Amino acid sequence: MMSQSFAEAEYRSMANTTCEHKWVNGILSSLGIIHPMPMQLYCDSQVTQNHVFHECTKHIEVDCHFVRNEIIYGHL
């Protein structure tokens, strides 16, 4: 259960940081400051390498897909 808790914390942290990045980018845009480069999000955990999700970790999948979509859209 410890690995599931660690994976949940890792993905939750990345999703929350992504939301904060988007918020800061929105504030900067409203002030007329445009940042054309994608924002960087660093993660050094091996838990993010495992993309196999189980029924008990379904809520982690939502955070993972949120971060992944931001990468695909070029925001991260």
Name the band, by pLDDT with cuts 50, 70 and 90, for residue 10.
confident
| Mean pLDDT in residue range 3-27 | 83
pLDDT at 61: 76
- List, for residues 38-76, the tens digit of each pLDDT value: 888 887 666 555 555 555 556 677 888 888 888 898 888
pLDDT at 1: 44
How many independent structural domains does the chain possess? Answer: 1
Buried b (16+ CB within 10 A) or exposed e, 9-23: ebbeebbebbeebee
Question: Which pair of tokens denotes residue 49?
Answer: 């390498």
Task: Give the structural domain span for 9.
Answer: 2-72
